[in-house]
A and B are shown apart, each in its own frame.
Chain A
Amino acid sequence: KQEVTQIPAALSVPEGENLVLNCSFTDSAIYNLQWFRQDPGKGLTSLLLIQSSQREQTSGRLNASLDKSSGRSTLYIAASQPGDSATYLCAVRPDAGGTSYGKLTFGQGTILTVHP
């Protein structure tokens, strides 16, 4: 059974710092990995999606990497801002052909606080 773990559980940094969030998964047979952002009282917003054949994806100040063989992904946030404060979740989709659909396995999330 796939298990996804995110470290740290919470992180507090001053504005302007570069930071790294970690995600590890136990079964390397994945189709893709997604990073989501969740604001308090809101749903999840997809930030980056990395296919199993890719090594990284970038969007603005965000960079996500994937090392499938070691079961790890990192989300790098450059020049953090108070508006980045949110919970960040990673989720993996199993590589089960066309039957895996949206059967994502989520980590428990990292609560990020960026203070001015």
Chain B
Amino acid sequence: NAGVTQTPKFRILKIGQSMTLQCTQDMNHNYMYWYRQDPGMGLKLIYYSVGAGITDKGEVPNGYNVSRSTTEDFPLRLELAAPSQTSVYFCASSYHQPNTIYFGEGSWLTVV
């Protein structure tokens, strides 16, 4: 049972580069989310999706983009990386009535 899978696990980017964090889930969940966690802080919602073709902004969306072409996949795109985007990124998913949320193991991103 794979659950929520994120890749890559670690990545170092130079300022101004772009990259995509991949997320896939095999639980047939409608809802998917991207959070970021800064050191010593809680998680903050970047973007979320309630189903294929539907996405919306969370609390901290600036500098990111998402797409949801299938139920399983929810990639997060970073355009023109900035040092402020150095963080740990978590993808998560849940059923249509989001009670328990299942998290991936995280992607550590450093922008230098």
Q: Closest CB of chain A to B100's CB: distance in Å?
A: 5
Q: A14-22, A36-44, A58-66, A68-76: which lies at the B interface?
A: A36-44
B side interface size, CB within 8 A: 25
Give A106's nearest chain B residue, CB to CB. Answer: B42
A42 to B104, CA, bound (A): 8
A-B contact count (CB 8 A): 59
Q: Closest CB of chain A to B76's CB: distance in Å?
A: 15
Of residues 1 through 50 on chain B, the ones whose CB sits less than 8 Å from some CB of chain A are 4, 31, 33, 40-45, 48, 50
Whether A101 touches B50, Cβ cut-off 8 Å, given contacts A4-B42, A44-B90, A107-B42, is yes
Give B6's nearest chain A residue, CB to CB. Answer: A43
Asked if B86 is at the interface (CB within 8 A of a chain A CB), the reply is no
Residue interface bits A99-115, CB-to-B below 8 A is 1, else 0: 00111111111000000
A side interface size, CB within 8 A: 23
| A42 close to B92 (CB less than 8 A) | no
Asked if B101 is at the interface (CB within 8 A of a chain A CB), the reply is yes
8 other contacts beyond A41-B105, A103-B45, with CB at 8 A cut-off? Answer: A4-B42, A34-B100, A42-B106, A43-B90, A43-B105, A101-B50, A102-B33, A104-B43
A-B contact pairs, 29 of them (CB 8 A): A41-B105, A42-B105, A42-B106, A43-B90, A43-B104, A43-B105, A43-B106, A44-B103, A45-B103, A46-B100, A46-B101, A46-B102, A89-B42, A91-B42, A93-B98, A101-B98, A102-B31, A102-B92, A102-B94, A102-B98, A102-B101, A103-B59, A104-B45, A105-B42, A106-B43, A106-B44, A108-B41, A108-B42, A109-B42
